[in-house]
Amino acid sequence: MSILKKYEFILEGLDCANCANKIQNKLAENSNYKNVVVNFNTLKLSFESELEEVKEEIEKVVKSLEPEVEVIDLHDKNENHEHHNDHDEKEHDHHKHHDHNHCDDKEHSHCSYNHDEHKHKENKKHDKKKNKKAKKKNANLIRLICGIILMVIALSGILPEKINLVVIVFAYIIMLYRTSKNALKLLKQKVIDENFLITISCIGAFIIGEQFEGLMVIALYEIGKILEEKAINNTRKSIASLMDIRPEYANLKHGNHEHRVNPNEVNINDIIVVKQGEKVPLDGIVVSGNANLNTASLTGESTLREVKENDKVLSGSINEKGLIEIKVTEKYENSTVSKILELVENATDKKAKTETFVNKASRIYTPIVLSLAALVGILLPIFTDITYTESIYRALIFLVVSCPCAIVISVPLSYFSGIGKASKEGILVKGSNYLDAIKDIKYIALDKTGTLTKGKFEVEKIKVYDEKYTEDQILEYAAFAESFSNHPLAVAVLEKYGKVVNKDSITDFEEIAGKGLSYKLDNLIIKVGNNDLVNCEEEKEIGTIIYVKIDENVIGCLILNDTIKPEAKDVIGNLNKLGISTMMFTGDNLEVAKKVATEIGIKEVKAEMLPTDKYNEIEKVIKNKISGNVAFVGDGINDSPVLALADVGISMGGIGASSAIEASDIVIMTDNLKKIEQAINISKETNKIIKQNLVFAIGIKVMVLILTVLGLSQMWMAVFADVGVTLITILNTLRILKRK
């Protein structure tokens, strides 16, 4: 059985959302291509195929539908981008006082100025295409200006009638050149798009004696398309600037020397230097120095984070003050920055129901309006006293209104803006469908430890049940077990113990899911965990209890307590006000769970749960829900199955945790519960903008169609209903990004 290979291309120059849908639908018809997605927001075409060579065929299909679009292999594009960065960085370093002889050392050959010939050729080819496109744009603009000048001269009436007609014809030829050329190319492929509709409308207007109307239509259409492309590109740039966290270089240390290199060239365990004002390029551990890091681009939080030796740091942070040396723990492709950028860039590949519906509706919208245009042109003179010239004029207006661009563009751009805005706030949404789903949450279950509480436990008390042992010994036995775990409870026990654990004396270590830990020490079987593990009389103290059992004797316990997050009560109160049923699911004991729930306002509590219990309970809630979506909020590590099962899985404090990113639909990059409210608000705002755009676009088009049937509209109104409305909906979409 052949293996499916994933392909990704950039469709450079694609400025029409409806055309993006046509390309997607055309490629999807071919059985060789699976899971075809054309992402209009990122201009990315992705699909899977068993074929080895696909670019030539893809180019043929794309060119047949959009002649001016260039198909660029995403791999080649990234290589060219890196090539540019390498070149710029090395040029910059050339002016610094580096020891150039050092670069001759084979051991450090990565810092030489060697330029790969293939990359150079690809780079030149890419630049040539870019220049060609820029020239074509300039030529189109000059052509449009010349056409408008001729139109103004003709409108002024200063020329004799016959010469004026010649000027009008020339104005038509000049301004309709690009549109008619594209229309003819597509007509050969049996495809009708807005180029064809505009061409027919303008030629029809000329034939029935409405020459100036026809010129006005093409002039307004061309101007509108230029403004539309600019507005779309500005929206993309605005979103890109929100996520401007990609590091441009890394200061790689070799002995006493530093060399500026591309982050992709740095390996695990290499040492990098981050100076004041620079971005942290890769994840790692501080091995020297201290600094104040701005993590706002990752978490949305403005408070600076102080880091020192042995602290973990994440790529994308900015060093506001200080100087640190970092030992790299992840290659660039696995770094936090890379994961975040990949998530955000690919998020709108997963389309929401609204987007899918609009795409399907747009396919039947144009044929319906074209059919109505034919009926208007043929039937109006039969049933009314208007002439065929008037009915054809009205039918031509229908043709201009029949392009669904305003409807199709506004929806994906709105979701793209919403996801970009959320990412700026430290909320990573993995798809348009999940952004859409957040607003409909009606049930939300939250894990307790690390979600509603800080997850920062403290050992408040140690109780001795067997007089042969002391508190220190009980603590030591517990610390020996917890030294193998990174759970918040383990951290608290080890902090209380305060010594280095010698693991060499420990054998037969075993972790028992949902219960605790077991190991052997000097032939003694020691168990450390909850009551299910040791099976003793329940401790009456309120708190999280860790029992210590040697062989068959429970010798004592540790009582730990956690602190409720300060914002928890307000957030739960606000969620309840929104009509969302809040629940707590926890593995902790019932008394502790009830105490926390009462304090913050959660009425339904499920305690002493194993991961499987949480899974089964969420399954019940989903099965019995009346309406809306079910969300689960957890830490993304132990709760992966539940996060995956819920309609919306939300993981908290997901910085750098690959398990959190993989398991959940939404990753909140901090431990702040208010981000859940923020996510809901961004989802609602995005949905509101989408509804406004759809109502406005459809409303204007329907109004112009009705006015046209009644003979109360003109062609310029139809152009406004097409490109004018598109521009307004794009500008309205930008409000999502500016929302506070």
Query: Can you read off the two tokens belonging to residue 12?
Result: 């450079």
The answer to the question of residue 135 being in a domain is no
* Residue with token string 């279950």: 445
Residue 147 lies in a domain: yes
Cα separation, 629 vs 495, whole angstroms: 41
Greater model confidence, 162 or 115? 162
Give the CATH number of the domain where residue 470 resides: 3.40.1110.10
Q: Is 99 part of a structural domain of the chain?
A: no
Please indicate, yes or no, whether residues 176 and 316 belong to a single structural domain of this protein.
Answer: no
- What pLDDT, on a 0 to 100 scale, did the predictor assign at position 667? 87
Q: Tally Cβ neighbours within 10 Å of residue 95.
A: 7
Dump pLDDT digits (tens) for 362-411. Answer: 778 778 888 888 999 999 999 888 999 999 999 998 888 887 777 888 88
Q: Say yes or no: 540 and 484 in one domain.
A: yes
Residues 591 and 660 placed together within one structural domain of the fold: yes
* Residue 255, domain CATH: 2.70.150.10
If asked whether residues 591 and 619 sit together in one domain, one would say yes
Q: Mind listing the pLDDT tens digit for each residue in 655-682?
A: 545 555 677 889 888 888 999 999 999 9
Active site residue 447: yes
Tell me the β-bridge partners of 516.
512, 529
Which of 301, 329, 357 is the last residue before a domain boundary?
329
Predicted pLDDT at 115: 42
Helix (H) or strand (E) holding 34: strand 34-39
Q: What range defines the domain where residue 620 resides?
A: 427-443+565-669
Decide: 47 and 27 in contact? Cβ < 8 Å. Answer: yes
Residue 481: what pLDDT? 93
Residue 598 forms part of a structural domain: yes
Measured distance between the N- and C-terminal CA atoms of the chain, rounded to whole angstroms: 52
User: Domain with 58 in it: what CATH number?
Assistant: 3.30.70.100
CA dist., res. 273 & res. 178, Å (int): 53
Q: How does residue 90 score in pLDDT terms, banded at 50, 70 and 90?
A: very low
Identity of the highest mean pLDDT range in 125-129, 643-647, 652-656, 687-691: 687-691
Q: What does the DSSP assignment read for 211-242? A: HHHHHHHHHHHHHHHHHHHHHHHHHHHHHHHH
SS3 category, 198: helix
pLDDT digits (tens, 9 = 90+) for 562-609: 888 999 999 999 999 999 999 999 888 788 899 899 999 998 999 988
Q: What is the pLDDT of residue 659?
A: 58
Read off the pLDDT of each residue in 179-205 and give the average, rounded to a whole number: 81
Residue 451 lies in a domain: no
Residue 82 has pLDDT above 90, yes or no: no
Which of 447, 562, 635, 671 does the annotation list as catalytic? 447
* Number of domains within the chain: 6
pLDDT at 129: 60
- Asked whether the predicted pLDDT for residue 322 surpasses 50, the reply is yes
Q: What is the CATH number of the domain that holds 625?
A: 3.40.50.1000
Question: What local confidence, expressed as pLDDT, does residue 634 receive?
Answer: 85
Residue 275 has pLDDT above 90, yes or no: yes
DSSP state at residue 26: H
187 & 52 share domain: no
Nearest to 632 by CA among 623, 621, 624: 621
Asked if the structure places residue 84 within a domain, the reply is: no
What is the three-class DSSP state of 147? helix
pLDDT tens by residue, 449-486: 888 988 778 898 999 999 999 999 999 999 999 998 87
Could you give the CA distance from residue 36 to residue 190 in angstroms, rounded to a whole number? 22
Give 174-185 pLDDT, tens digit per residue.
999 888 888 887
Using only C-alpha atoms, what is the Rg of the chain?
32
Domain boundary among 533, 561, 589: 561
Q: Which residue has the higher pLDDT, 67 or 89?
A: 67
Same domain, 10 and 72: yes
Compute the C-alpha angle 219/222/225, nearest 5°.
145
Same domain, 508 and 531: yes
Same domain, residue pair 569 and 439: yes
The answer to whether residue 338 sits within a structural domain is no
Residue that finishes a domain, picked among 561, 588, 605:
561
CA distance 599 to 615: 26
Q: Based on the domain organization, do 582 and 529 belong to the same domain?
A: no
Mean pLDDT score across all residues of the chain? 84
Q: What's the pLDDT at 494?
A: 93
Residue 637 lies in a domain: yes
Whether pLDDT at 489 is above 70: yes
Asked if 291 and 305 touch (Cβ cutoff 8 Å), the reply is: no
Within the chain, what is the greatest distance between any pair of CA atoms? 119
10 Å CB burial of residue 124 (0-12, 13-18, 19+) is: exposed
Claim to verify: residue 554 and residue 569 sit in the same structural domain: no
Q: Rounded to whole angstroms, what are the CA distances from 160 to 14, 153, 155?
A: 43, 11, 12
Residues 577 and 431 occupy one common structural domain: yes
The reply to whether 14 and 63 lie within a common domain is yes
Long-range contacts of 121-125 (CB under 8 A, 24+ apart): 122/76, 122/79, 122/80, 123/80, 123/83, 123/84
User: What is the mean pLDDT of the segment spanning 107-123?
Assistant: 46
